[in-house]
């Protein structure tokens, strides 16, 4: 597949964004191109998402992963190929990811008979809602995969630059909700009730000491309280107050320790004010931790292909690619796509010039990793 065709694919995908779990047109479009080129497809039994298979069926299996879903964002790029769907936009570059891995699949197709193993190319739905990776894994079709590779658009590098960083690169992202129960009463007579609001104020302050006083200064973590709810008028002390927020960290150990501290700080601080606190804690995606050996070979491959390599900084955002890494090692690389607007911004753009070099990089690296696994 030539570069020009891949750019057309990207632009088509950009014009036709679909939200998580609704990527039917996208799935059909990618399926058709793969089928036209004689690429085998696995029957996932799922409504959206697909898996392409390349290789001779002998030897080890590695996987390349793209995601396909868009965001509920009104596009403001002014691009000639802007979204044709009001309020929906590929603002995270998943159109780029899909075009890139489609390109890699077609490049691998040309070398299929000499591949030292099998490459499964995953086009997953619903990354933005942290649901798609688990869904693809649940098909059982990835049980034989020994290594997972993916890329993510990165506006802070220009096309032709690849960010490669061993170790933790993306964070855990958990949600918590703390409910504080006091005793409602007339606002003129606080002594007749138990006001949960001062407890909320103290908890907000105390929670930040979990990071500043209880977490290793060399570990990175964030606790953000993002929603508060209490009372519904000016002259009544409410019975309850609710706070909601998120915990982010780069390792599972730090995450577990913060969870424990959060519960203790909330419960004990509330008790000091005569209130009772209960916490709900929901685990989101785990950390994305890149395998060191893969990163070394990736860097060598990138340089051989004339790409510029940078050590990208880690990010406190999450990626459900971490689900695959529970099954086997892998790595997520940052693909320089320029533009200057962050992912999820209405003016986010991805430079199409970056697609083909990235596709080639993933195709070459996948083959190299197969050979490495066979040794
Ligand atoms: Ni994304």
Give the bridge partners for 336, in sequence order. 154
pLDDT bracket for residue 58 (50, 70, 90): confident
Mean residue pLDDT of the chain comes to 97
What are the tens digits of pLDDT across the range 188-222?
A: 999 999 999 999 999 999 999 999 999 999 999 99
Question: What pLDDT was estimated at residue 175?
Answer: 97
Structure letter (DSSP) for residue 42: E
Confidence of residue 14 (pLDDT cuts 50, 70, 90): very high
CB count, 10 Å around CB of 272? 11
Q: Can you tell me the distance from the alpha carbon of 362 to that of 353, in angstroms, rounded to the nearest whole number?
A: 16
Distance 153 CA to ligand 1 centre (A): 8
| Tens-place pLDDT, residues 321-352 | 999 999 999 999 999 999 999 999 999 999 99
From ligand 1's centre to the CA of 90, what distance in Å?
A: 9
* Tokens read off for 30: 């990618």
Distance 92 CA to ligand 1 centre (A): 5
- Please determine, for residue 57, whether its predicted confidence score (pLDDT) is greater than 90: no
DSSP string spanning 52-115?
A: EEEE-S-S-EEEEEEE---BS-------TT--SSTT-B--S-HHHHHHHHHHHHHHHHHTGGG-
Give the contacts of 232 (CB within 8 A, at least 6 positions apart).
Answer: 238
- Whole-angstrom Cα distance, residue 338 to residue 315? 17
What distance in angstroms lies between residue 193's CA and the mean position of ligand 1's atoms? 48
Taking residues 216-232, report their average pLDDT. 96
User: Which residues are registered as beta bridge partners of 66?
Assistant: 123
Which element (helix H / strand E) includes 220?
A: none
Interval between CA 319 and ligand 1 midpoint (Å): 7
Q: Which domains does the chain have, with CATH numbers?
A: 3-169+287-374 (3.40.630.10), 174-282 (3.30.70.360)
Distance 208 CA to ligand 1 centre (A): 28
CA of 231 to the centre of ligand 1 (A): 37
Q: How far is the CA of 253 from the centre of ligand 1 (A)?
A: 25
Return the structure tokens found at 298.
């990736």
Give the C-alpha distances (Å, rounded to integers) separating 161 from 137, 150, 275.
31, 15, 54
Q: How far is the CA of 44 from the centre of ligand 1 (A)?
A: 22
- Angstrom distance (rounded) from CA 77 to CA 232: 41
pLDDT at 1: 62
Residue 47 Cα to ligand 1 middle (Å): 21
Of 310, 299, 56, give the one whose Cα is nearest residue 161: 310
């Amino acid at each position: 597949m030539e570069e020009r065709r891949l750019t057309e694919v990207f632009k088509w995908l950009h014009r036709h964004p679909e939200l998580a779990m609704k990527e039917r047109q996208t799935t059909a479009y990618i399926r058709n191109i793969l089928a036209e080129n004689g690429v085998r497809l696995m029957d996932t039994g799922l409504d959206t998402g697909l898996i392409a298979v390349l290789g001779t069926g002998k030897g080890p299996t590695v996987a390349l992963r793209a995601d396909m879903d868009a965001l509920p964002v009104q596009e403001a790029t002014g691009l000639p190929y802007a979204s044709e769907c009001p309020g929906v936009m590929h603002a995270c570059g998943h159109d780029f990811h899909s075009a890139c891995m489609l390109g890699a699949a077609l490049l691998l197709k040309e070398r299929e008979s000499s591949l030292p193993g099998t490459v499964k190319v995953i086009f997953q739905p619903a990354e933005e809602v942290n649901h798609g990776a688990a869904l693809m894994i649940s098909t059982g079709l990835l049980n034989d995969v020994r290594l997972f590779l993916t890329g993510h658009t990165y506006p802070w590098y220009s096309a032709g630059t690849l960010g490669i960083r061993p170790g933790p690169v993306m964070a855990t992202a958990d949600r918590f909700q703390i409910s504080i129960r006091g005793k409602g009463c007339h606002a003129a007579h606080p002594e007749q009730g138990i006001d949960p609001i001062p407890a909320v104020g103290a908890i907000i302050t105390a929670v930040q000491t979990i990071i500043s006083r209880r977490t290793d200064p060399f570990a990175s973590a964030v606790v953000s309280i993002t929603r508060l709810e209490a009372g519904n008028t000016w002259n009544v002390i409410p019975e309850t107050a609710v706070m909601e927020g998120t915990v982010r960290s780069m390792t599972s150990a730090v995450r577990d320790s913060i969870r424990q501290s959060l519960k203790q700080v909330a419960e004990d601080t509330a008790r000091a004010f005569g209130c009772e606190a209960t916490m709900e804690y929901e685990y989101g995606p785990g950390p994305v931790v890149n395998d060191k050996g893969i990163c070394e070979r990736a860097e060598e491959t990138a340089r051989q292909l004339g790409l510029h390599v940078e050590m990208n900084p880690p990010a406190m955002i999450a990626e459900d690619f971490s689900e695959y890494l529970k099954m086997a090692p892998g790595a997520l690389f940052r693909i320089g796509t320029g533009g200057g607007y962050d992912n999820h911004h209405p003016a986010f753009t991805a430079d199409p010039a970056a697609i083909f070099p990235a596709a080639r990089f993933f195709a070459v690296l996948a083959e190299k990793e197969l050979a490495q696994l066979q040794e």
